[in-house]
A = this chain, B = another copy of it.
Amino acid sequence: MKEIDLEKVFMFLEPGNVAMLSTAFGGKFNVMTFSWHMVLDFTGRFACVIGPWDYTYEALVKTKECVVSVPTVELIKKVVNIGSCSGNEIDKFKKFSLTPLPAREVKAPLIGECIANIECRVSDHIKRHDIFVLDAVAAWGNPNVKDKRKFHAVGNGTFYADGEHIDLKDMMLKKPDVGDPQF
């Protein structure tokens, strides 16, 4: 894995792609699937919706840290299945043959098969809306992922993979060019 600058982290979530969130709690790893997230600023801060109905909730509240991982279409069936069962019943890393790798700043694991892994600390919890605010503290890119298309949930069990890439950088000259999200 190659390190990603924190100011580029938002590029891995701003497209609104499906992501996964891993925790380490009670002597075990767990992972969930989510797509209700949004960028909050350009520092690597973002928000997501995780409620008491999620098994991950207690781990997030008590450890205040996690890893957010970005899967690509190579993993889509695993990712959907991960979102359809609970870590309360099974060891999802084992069941879905995901490779947990040690993170640098948090105890939650990176996922070896994902194109990007973002180590995060919980900096706020807005309970009335089940919103967690996560701050990236380190991020890693996996240059070995072949099909780099991320994917997006429509919400009815269907998804869109990234399609045509449209470059309109010339129309956005007012904004500083932060480069491509390469690693």
Contact = CB atoms under 8 A, between A and B. Distances in A.
A178 B157 CA distance: 9
A150 B16 CA distance: 12
Contacts of A39: 35-36, 49, 155
Contacts of A80: 168, 171-172
A172 to B, nearest CB: 4
B164 A160 contact: yes
Contacts of A59: none
Contact of A36 (B38, B156, B180): B38
Given A38-B37, A171-B77, A161 B166 contact: yes
B155 A40 contact: no
B166 A163 contact: no
Interface stretch (A7-15, A21-29, A89-97): A7-15
A6 interface: no
Given A159-B168, A165-B158, A15 B14 contact: no
Interface residues on A, range: 35 or more
A180 to B, nearest CB: 6
Interface string A147-183: 0011111111111111111111111101101111100
Contacts of A77: 168, 171
Contacts of A172: 80, 84, 157
Contact of A169 (B149, B157, B171): B157
A22 to B, nearest CB: 19
Interface of A: 10-11, 14-17, 35-40, 47-49, 73, 76-77, 80-81, 84, 124, 126, 128-131, 133, 149-172, 174-175, 177-181
What 4 pairs between A and B have smallest CB-CB spacing?
A: A16-B16, A163-B163, A157-B169, A15-B152
